[in-house]
Structure 1
Amino acid sequence: MKLKLLFFTLLLTGISFSQNKGTVTGMLTDKDANNQSLPFANVVIKGTTKGTNTDIDGKYSIAAAPGNYIIQFSFVGYESVEVPVTIVANEIVTINQALGSGSYKLEDVVIKATAPNREKETALLLDQKNAVEIKQTIGAQELSRKGISDVATAVTKTTGITKQEGSGNIFVRGLGDRYNSTTMNGLPIPSNDPEKKNINLEIFSTDILEYVSIDKVYNSKLYGDFAGGNVDIVSKDYKGKGFVKVDIGSKVNTNSINDNNFSLQKGASSSGFSNALIPANPLTQYNFGTLQLDNKAPFGSSVGISGGKSFNVGSESKLNVFANVSFGNDYTSRSNGSAKGNVNGSGVVNKNFEDYTLISYNTNFTSMANIGYKINNNNKINFNSVFINTSSLSKEEYTGYIVDIANNGNGLIRRNKYEKNSLFINQLLGENKIGERSKLNWGASYNIIKGDMPDRTQNIFRKEPNGFVLSSISAPDNHRYFQKLTENEAAVNLSFDYKFNKTEDDNYKGKFTFGYNGRFKTRNFEASQFNFKANQNFSSTIVDPNNLDLFYNQANFSNGYFDITTFRGGFQVPNALDPQTYNGNQYINGGFLNTEYKFKKLTTVVGLRGEYIFQKVDWNTQLDPDGGFNELEKIAFLPSVTMKYELNEKQNLRFGFSKTYTLPQFKERALFVYEDVTEVKVGNPNLYASDDYNFDLKWEMFPKSEELISVTAFGKYILNPMNEVTIASSTNDISFINTGDFGYVAGGEVEYRKLLFNFDENNTKKLSAGINASYLYSNQELNTEKVIKETDYNVVFTNTKSKFTGASDLLLNADISLLNEWNDKQGSLNTTLAYTYFSDRVYAIGTNDKGDLVDKSFGSLDFIAKSKLNKRLGIDFIVKNLLDPTIDRVQENRSGDVNVLSYKKGLLFSVNLNYQF
């Protein structure tokens, strides 16, 4: 009875206490932005710890006991306002307040936040809500929460985007590399891979960015070479008080530590900056580097330091500085692997490797400096410089059957490869307001990319009863390969805004934007391959695969054990040392005019862009030793329409339509052959541009500041689409072909972000989740007669229709996060589970009775725990690829699918410490 009475008393007291409270509610608006809602502003009851932030619509609500208080409203860069209020029990007091810069001066502001609002998930949702363009963004805050360290992985967390396994190549709505583009701060950046249009996004650390923006709907400010999407990396523009942050970390891959013999070729430095050169007199003397292997302890590490500070310069000017330097390395390994090559339409396999492994050591050095100078309220300028050096030292081994070389399944192919890429980006950006109506935005960049593959080695062995012998069937079986790529690109962006039709409340209904974009790119590529063929009397010499220096050395070369030749011949041929080359020049000049007008709830942007495109490729290769060239010229007129209809303050309906084009790339049109172990790719000089028509319809709803619901329907119609196709040849080469007259993609996307539980009124303990999914249907005509007529290649398609290469029917991303903050938010623990899935997608289209090459579906699961122990010290623990699925590529055949590639990646564990001074 006493317990019941006590319970009743406590319940009654709680009810009475809650009923005795009153509430202050209202909305904050921005005086300097036509009284638009002001989200994320601070609302505090002065002299207490009670406070909140306005939501995405600028609204707030605070409950307090009855009494007289002062409410403080504040926002960085705005004058703070204090309003007295009397709170009465069980009553609601409404206070709406407008904040403005007023007489605010820089020296009067104490900036407490060290990160700009654009890094926040809530701020980016607001930007997405208010923007006329249809776009998606993912910011530094969300990337940190999900444990994402590179841009390639970052963009795959947005709707409709996946990454090709084993590379930084992304697919947007099922469309691959050639249909996409990459920019930094709106200016184009070159590729570091001779086979790709876009740079490998894995080399960009998330430490240097503020957010990543993905445009999947075209607008005329973008270059017209667009069908999938444009990824824009927005570099960190720091504003705040001074800080220095130090990060150290360690990571390990389970496959790597389980490998009892993790050994890689000697010679390359662990820093990733070494660069082997072709030795002197390579055809008459043996001066090549060692082929010996070196055992490694496969434990990765990372270290980084970053800092920034804002400086007041006079009464109006401000200087913002941010810099970052970091170095990281890691070890990866593919286990339980198998591979097959040269599979014909009947399923007969000419290369069948029951054991396949790939191990690698990878480095990334990144440095960045960003200097922003705000001259006054109307003029600002930014200089952004980024240097990135990456390297990969890898060893591939294939053991099994090789037709005519190892018919008893006793073959071994080993390929050692060292790749080094350096990218230097320099950008100057400016914004100038000219009066009340006009604004000029401009930018210029000069970028240099150097992509080297110094001294790739390959050796093919056959195991005999008494040991291994080197294959001497073909001269290129054993070789050393040197490749260099240098690309220089200058780019210019200019745009001028002019507002018109001013209303009584000082808003403008319309805006003209006209401008110019230009990019000027040159590429120089050269490759030299030295073939080592054992002479007849020594072709059965027993060798040690782990110490080939005992066979390949100057003494044996002088004694005639083997010859060294290039594709042009031996030392007797005068030009034998001339490398294979191709050079490319591309110029794009574009002008555009956009007209934006707001009709009450409907905002419409009508754009027209015109471009002149010139591309020239010349070559001198083993396929054409006399050399040749090809030119492509195109004039494009590209209309676009974007509409946004505000259904209410929380919901938008959007529409987009545009015409664009897709250019072939230098490597795709150069008559150059690149040989991998299980496939060969060759260029097609007759490849030409596609024309694209794009359609989007999107509904979106923003229930709360952290929540989003959206549904999108999209379609693309492509004339003369390009695909990777297996052509008729002795080695089943893959080339790039305009495969038919048309193709199309149609699909839908959904996204849902939800705050599931908020465990306290201070917003310090909450559970949130997000999911996005896309479904697409792709279909294209495959026309054998068209290909034979337009190219020099013999292609007979197995089917008359096909999906687009890279297109998955279903893409899925999901995550759930639990946040717990304490000690006035100076300590926190944020744990996240993140899941990604894609269904089957076509890697290459089948021909000559062979089916398509298809990458099979799989899902991956990551766990991330990020803790802030106190104001300065943080620790992160991340486990990636928890499910460790088997990754498969199959060739579809009538007699049954043939698995041509299979492996597991293993789990990746990493621990990181950071300390901020």
Structure 2
Amino acid sequence: MKKILVLLAVFTAAFSQAQSTGSVVGKLTDKEYNNESLAFANVLIKGTTKGTTSDFDGLYSFEGLDPGSYTLIFSFVGYETQEINVQIVAGKVTEVNVPMGASAASLDEIVITTTTKKESETALLLEQKKAIAFKTAIGAQELSRKGVGDVAAAVTKVTGISKQEGSGGVFVRGLGDRYNITTLNGLPLPSNNPSKKNIDLDIFSTDIVEFVGIDKTYNTKNYGDFAGANVNIASKNYTGKGFVNIGLESGVNTNAISESDFYLHDGPNYTGFYDKNYPEFPLNNYNFNTSWDRETTSAPINSSISLKGGDSYQLGDDTRINFFAVASFNNEYGFRDGVSRGSVNVSGVARRDYDLTRYNYDTNSTLMGNIGFKHKDHKIKYNGVFINSTSQQQAEYTGIVDIFDYAPEGGAILQRSTFDRTELYVHQLLGDHELSEQFEVNWGAAYNFAKNDTPNRRQTLVTPDDWDEPEGPKSFNLTLNDSDNHRFYQDLEEEEIAANLTTSFKFNKNEEDEFLGKITLGYSGRFKTVDFESTQFNFRIINSGGNAVDQPIITDVYDLDSYFNQSNFNAGLFNIRTFRGGLGANIDVLLPQTFEGEQNINAGFISLEYKFSDKFSGILGFRGEQITQNIAYNTSVNSGENELDQFEYLPSISLKYVLNEKQNLRFAASKTYTLPQFKERAPFQYDESPTLTTLGNPALYSSTNYNADIKWDLFPESDEIISIGSFLRMINNPINQITINSASNDVSWVNSGDWATAIGAEFEIRKNLLKSEIESGDKTLETKLTGGLNFSYLNTTQDLDRDKVIEETTAGGNAISVDFSDTESSLTGASDILVNADLSFYKDYKGDKSIQTTLAFNYFSDRIYALGSEGKGNIIDSGIGTLDFILKTKLNKNLGVGLSAKNLLNPTIERIQETQDVVVSSFKLGANVKLSLSYNF
């Protein structure tokens, strides 16, 4: 089925990606009164019945105009009528600013500019102002200004959102991965991690992004597995004249470049296109052909190259076709030097206590193409994306394996070499059909395939030959566990088909030729399968029992190929086993640990949008979802299957009241739910790191969420905003990550109590601090200084009930013992305070030259990583602030140069166990400095 769909997607590519209509916006000013805003002037499109009036700020707009030439007529009693010819370009917003007076304006007084509609900060802000529902978006123009390179970093520029350290996951108003949804062009995306619901947003380069929409209130068109935000990535859709752009970047990480030698491991290559399976006969002999040892690599220089281009063609009077494509590759080196501790007891003693040194090398290769076809009012578009994202880590832990019984005086050296690769394939076919003035049909279908591999993770552990002499000779003589030295292979495949269909009908036209109401009916379907398997080969050291042999001294801990080889295998120093056993067992010991699942969601929805008066409008919606989530597992812990089957009723309402031309008041309320993830329900024990092990819970079930928001917006100018909002989330049976009662302090997931609440306030201001324009020939040269600040305060609380957890997990057949440190707590991942601030300066010069600088700051306060148990307190991620500087210049209309410096403050990133404030993780990321060059042909 997968191959057929891929072939079908390739075939239909010739008839794809739609052209959007164009828009015109602008501002009218009064020449007779010092160019103040001219309100209530008439603006008509000549030869049509379309018209509007300027608002209190002199602003006007026309949306949904087909490409072509138009004549705009501007009139006001007592003033000279103006007629301006305007060329509307599909997918673009044309800005026409006109001064009105007793005599006609001269041509050089009228400023006409055209930018991509969904990239423009002004156009997106205008959409936000006009929308009934809560709406936030960040466009390519703003992303470029703030030097943002990926979608994860992009969404953190929005009020109330922070990024999860070490991943592309985000927290929205303190609610993490499980509460959010990620879509591409309105269609769902699969996860690239078995532990996560959403795909890592940092694998999406902003090269492919036109804008990122963030819905923090529920919309009936979206799936109901929601409480934080729906993050929708809108891919670029080029509709202008032909162009080709090449971009180059080079830079360094200050931590990585300061190392005299940079180490990685054998196998993965520079590009990240690497895969490795275990040998055909892994237990009979030593057949592994990749080295255990670290290798010196080339100088850790970060680099990036991108090539993008697009064009559009008119085929007759009614037909147009366009295309856009981008190919990019970037890599990045990193280095950490700090501590890693685990299994902290109630006295504040860390049983595992290591100094950590870690070398990182990440790559991202992206290929995206789209084709659009438009004939009259019918549009079809295809969008295809391929992403190959990798992370390579060479980690070295030095210290105490277990302070009570395993190298308790230190001196142990644990090395872990990990390569993680994600391949993502996305095919989307979308259509818009305006069948009449009142009736419209929209549809979309997607086939997604994600493959995540951890091929050939290697771990070795040597300890002092005499534990009382931590600095003495090393050996495997006192190795205690089979899994201390291993090779691990993991594969996750997630395949998904999704479809959307909506029909809308407008009704009740008023005297101004405006429809007051719209009814929308729709269907959404999402059909996903997940296949996960892992195999670990443990190199069992023969140091006890009747077959024990004398273990040699390890003279060089970075030359373990001299130990793990065929000769020592034949000599009986070690043998090779899986978790099911070794050679001679009566079962298939090569049978991997597996879980496989199927999740089907069928949903129908209806919404009514109505404008009750000039000031008051609203949207009332209802969605019903039938959800099944089946999972079967066979792991080292247990085997079996379980099923989740439920129907969800999801009402929602959004209201908007226009206080005046500059101010809006909005309210929204809804009911949603939160599903557990497949891996969270599979009793699979996974070593996230040498100091952290996770274990699934088959008794886990979904939560129910009740959401309410209220917000006041003020738009002083077309590109300015001041807003204040408040929100409430009430969660029934919340899911939390906890530390369970176990010797190794494993982490699991449970429905930890009956209720959780999150209440908060948000403030945002975007203001022009300085703005001026001067005429130079046929161009207007602009100077602009802008400032932005958004602030979020959040208070969360939840009850913690150990008896509820024990009762529910015991009934499910996999009892989890937990003894919460407190009877109530904040939600995991929730920061009380989030702050984003930026200051930008832009200036035009003659000869198509310009300069733009931005200073951006981000801060989040302390947040809980995992709930504590047995009096040991919660595990806390300490709050940090980051500072970035971006400089971009255009030397002429073709050539641009940029400089960026990220993480200038380079704060210490710490994770702390509340008991005795033990630091369980600590390191610095270093600053990233890059120089970029771009050229437009």
TM-score (norm 1): 0.90
Return the match for 1:35 from 51, 54, 60.
51
Could you report, residue by residue, the CA deviation over 1:326-346 in whole angstroms, capped at 9, with x for unpaired residues? 0111101113x1121110111
In structure 1, the partner of 2:435 is 434
Judge conservation of contact 2:391–2:419 (CA < 8 Å) in 1: yes
In the TM superposition, residue 138 of structure 1 has moved relative to its aligned partner by 0.4
Judge conservation of contact 2:703–2:732 (CA < 8 Å) in 1: yes
Return the match for 2:931 from 899, 908, 911.
911
Q: List structure 1 segments (4+ residues) > 3 angstroms apart after TM superposition.
A: 18-34, 36-39, 75-86, 91-102, 109-115, 463-467, 538-541, 759-763
Cα 1:461/1:115, change in 2 over 3 Å: farther
Determine whether 1:690 maps to 2:703: yes
Return the match for 1:611 from 587, 608, 625.
625
Cα 1:195/1:28, change in 2 over 3 Å: farther
Q: Distance in 2 between matches of 1:170 and 1:735?
A: 20
In the TM superposition, residue 79 of structure 1 has moved relative to its aligned partner by 3.2
In structure 2, the partner of 1:486 is 493
Amino acid at match of 2:488: Y
Return the match for 2:566 from 540, 551, 554.
554
Q: Distance in 2 between matches of 1:460 and 1:571?
A: 24
| Alignment of structure 1 residues 362-511 onto 2, 5 Å | 362-376=362-376, 378-403=377-402, 404-463=405-464, 467-470=473-476, 472-511=479-518
In the TM superposition, residue 773 of structure 1 has moved relative to its aligned partner by 0.7
Q: Distance in 2 between matches of 1:534 and 1:866?
A: 58
Q: Secondary structure at the match of 2:926?
A: coil
In structure 2, the partner of 1:741 is 754
Judge conservation of contact 2:38–2:58 (CA < 8 Å) in 1: no
Q: Distance in 2 between matches of 1:56 and 1:556?
A: 84
In the TM superposition, residue 266 of structure 1 has moved relative to its aligned partner by 1.4
In structure 2, the partner of 1:780 is 798
Determine whether 1:346 maps to 2:347: yes
Q: Secondary structure at the match of 1:521?
A: strand
Q: Distance in 1 between matches of 2:84 and 2:74?
A: 15
Determine whether 1:531 maps to 2:538: yes
In the TM superposition, residue 545 of structure 1 has moved relative to its aligned partner by 2.2
Could you report, residue by residue, the CA deviation over 1:405-433 in whole angstroms, capped at 9, with x for unpaired residues? 22112112111100111000000000001
Judge conservation of contact 1:23–1:92 (CA < 8 Å) in 2: no
Judge conservation of contact 1:770–1:814 (CA < 8 Å) in 2: yes
Amino acid at match of 1:806: G
Cα 1:466/1:783, change in 2 over 3 Å: closer
Determine whether 1:587 maps to 2:600: yes
Q: Distance in 2 between matches of 1:742 and 1:605?
A: 29
Return the match for 1:857 from 879, 882, 892.
879
In structure 2, the partner of 1:11 is none
In structure 2, the partner of 1:70 is none
Determine whether 1:802 maps to 2:825: yes
Cα 1:737/1:23, change in 2 over 3 Å: closer
Cα 1:607/1:578, change in 2 over 3 Å: same
Judge conservation of contact 1:25–1:93 (CA < 8 Å) in 2: no
Unaligned runs of 5+ in 2: 1-30, 97-111, 466-470, 544-548, 775-779, 810-814
Cα 1:113/1:550, change in 2 over 3 Å: farther
In structure 1, the partner of 2:26 is none
Determine whether 1:765 maps to 2:771: no
Amino acid at match of 2:519: F
In structure 2, the partner of 1:655 is 667
Cα 1:397/1:606, change in 2 over 3 Å: same
Could you report, residue by residue, the CA deviation over 1:339-388 in whole angstroms, capped at 9, with x for unpaired residues? 211101111211112x2122111110000001111111x11111000000
In structure 2, the partner of 1:816 is 839
Q: Secondary structure at the match of 1:133?
A: coil
Could you report, residue by residue, the CA deviation over 1:501-526 in whole angstroms, capped at 9, with x for unpaired residues? 11122211111001000000000000
Judge conservation of contact 1:412–1:460 (CA < 8 Å) in 2: yes
In the TM superposition, residue 875 of structure 1 has moved relative to its aligned partner by 0.8
Amino acid at match of 1:663: L
In structure 1, the partner of 2:103 is none
Amino acid at match of 1:753: R
In the TM superposition, residue 862 of structure 1 has moved relative to its aligned partner by 0.2
Cα 1:24/1:846, change in 2 over 3 Å: closer
Q: Distance in 2 between matches of 1:645 and 1:225?
A: 28
Amino acid at match of 1:712: G
Q: Secondary structure at the match of 2:773?
A: coil
In the TM superposition, residue 399 of structure 1 has moved relative to its aligned partner by 1.3
Could you report, residue by residue, the CA deviation over 1:650-677 in whole angstroms, capped at 9, with x for unpaired residues? 2111000000000001010011111121
Could you report, residue by residue, the CA deviation over 1:585-628 in whole angstroms, capped at 9, with x for unpaired residues? 0000000000111011111111111110000011000001xx20
Q: Distance in 2 between matches of 1:479 and 1:832?
A: 48
Determine whether 1:515 maps to 2:527: no
Which moves more between the two structures, 275-284 or 535-544?
Answer: 535-544
Judge conservation of contact 1:317–1:373 (CA < 8 Å) in 2: yes
In structure 2, the partner of 1:564 is 576
Q: Distance in 1 between matches of 2:53 and 2:534?
A: 59
TM-score (norm 2): 0.88
Judge conservation of contact 2:707–2:730 (CA < 8 Å) in 1: yes
Percent of aligned pairs sharing the same letter: 46
Q: Distance in 1 between matches of 2:394 and 2:668?
A: 47
Judge conservation of contact 1:23–1:93 (CA < 8 Å) in 2: no
Determine whether 1:328 maps to 2:330: yes
Determine whether 1:902 maps to 2:922: yes
Could you report, residue by residue, the CA deviation over 1:38-80 in whole angstroms, capped at 9, with x for unpaired residues? 89xxxxxxxxxxxxxx9882399xxxxxxxxxxxxxx994535
| Alignment of structure 1 residues 70-469 onto 2, 5 Å | 77=67, 79-81=69-71, 93=79, 95=81, 116-288=116-288, 289-296=290-297, 297-335=299-337, 337-353=338-354, 355-376=355-376, 378-403=377-402, 404-463=405-464, 467-469=473-475
- Number of paired residues? 857
Q: Secondary structure at the match of 2:411?
A: strand
Judge conservation of contact 1:78–1:99 (CA < 8 Å) in 2: no
Judge conservation of contact 1:797–1:846 (CA < 8 Å) in 2: yes
Judge conservation of contact 1:798–1:847 (CA < 8 Å) in 2: yes
Amino acid at match of 2:51: N
Q: Distance in 2 between matches of 1:567 and 1:633?
A: 33
Q: Distance in 2 between matches of 1:553 and 1:21?
A: 86
Cα 1:59/1:438, change in 2 over 3 Å: closer
Q: Secondary structure at the match of 1:231?
A: strand
Unaligned runs of 5+ in 1: 1-17, 40-53, 61-74
In the TM superposition, residue 796 of structure 1 has moved relative to its aligned partner by 0.9
Q: Distance in 2 between matches of 1:114 and 1:463?
A: 70
Cα 1:127/1:410, change in 2 over 3 Å: same
In structure 2, the partner of 1:541 is 553
Could you report, residue by residue, the CA deviation over 1:794-831 in whole angstroms, capped at 9, with x for unpaired residues? 1111100000000000000000001011126x211100
In the TM superposition, residue 140 of structure 1 has moved relative to its aligned partner by 0.2
In structure 2, the partner of 1:716 is 729
Q: Secondary structure at the match of 1:58?
A: strand
CA RMSD of aligned residues (A): 2.6
Q: Distance in 2 between matches of 1:511 and 1:83?
A: 29
Which moves more between the two structures, 741-750 or 565-574?
Answer: 565-574
Cα 1:752/1:406, change in 2 over 3 Å: same
Judge conservation of contact 1:35–1:98 (CA < 8 Å) in 2: no
Q: Secondary structure at the match of 1:408?
A: coil
Judge conservation of contact 1:28–1:59 (CA < 8 Å) in 2: no
Cα 1:559/1:780, change in 2 over 3 Å: same
Cα 1:755/1:307, change in 2 over 3 Å: same
